[in-house]
Amino acid sequence: MAKQLTPKKQRFLDFIRSFSGDHDRAPTFHEIMEGLKIKSLGTVNWYVKELEKIGVLERGKYNAKRALSLLDQSTGNELPLLGLIAAGYPLEAVENRETIEVPISYIHPDNYVLKVKGDSMIDDHIEDGDYVIVRQKAEASQGQTVVAFVNNEATLKRYYLKPNGVELHPRNPDYDVIRVSAEDEFRIGGVVLAILRQYE
């Protein structure tokens, strides 16, 4: 099980993990300051000490400001599983505290996982019971598969911005296009990066 961290400590740890994965080395304190927009080295040092106390981070004895090691590798490839997403008709996405193991290349502080319910995206090989890895962002390009919230209900669809407004397209002919009107409350919760499927 993942250790319970405050959101700020988790963000700090996630940055070190993501940076280390991208650069094959741990970030320096100055790189952490810049990446997380922290104003002082003292604050970075405090976070490192706090994470050392709970056993998820270790500072090397030499060149200590660079030699940071992640100790809790069992949780190094997990993302939060935030609930269900409808690939069909809109369904409320319910947040919970579970995590799910994903390929290490998808570990990023802005990524999360949703479990798919429904079959409206089967032509994109997204099936009922699959998991999707999502990058949290508020904008999308034409044709990208997104987590869309329409009047606070979440659905998984392809996003298209048309002259008369947003359209959310299923990938199953049994389902209709969702047309978002000016009166609807609409936002994008993220863009799908990958699909995970578990076999019994």
CB 165 within 8 A of CB 176: no
Exposure string of 24-38, with b = 16+ CB inside 10 Å and e = fewer, is eebbbbebbbeebeb
* Choice among 120, 137, 141, 181 that is catalytic: 120
* 89: nearest Cα among 145, 6, 168: 168
Note if 20 is an active site residue: no
8-state DSSP, 144: -
Note if 157 is an active site residue: yes
With a CB cutoff of 8 Å and minimum separation 6, the contacts of 139 are: 188
* Choice among 37, 49, 105, 157 that is catalytic: 157
Q: Which helix (H) or strand (E) holds 133?
A: strand 131-135
Catalytic residue ranges: 120, 157
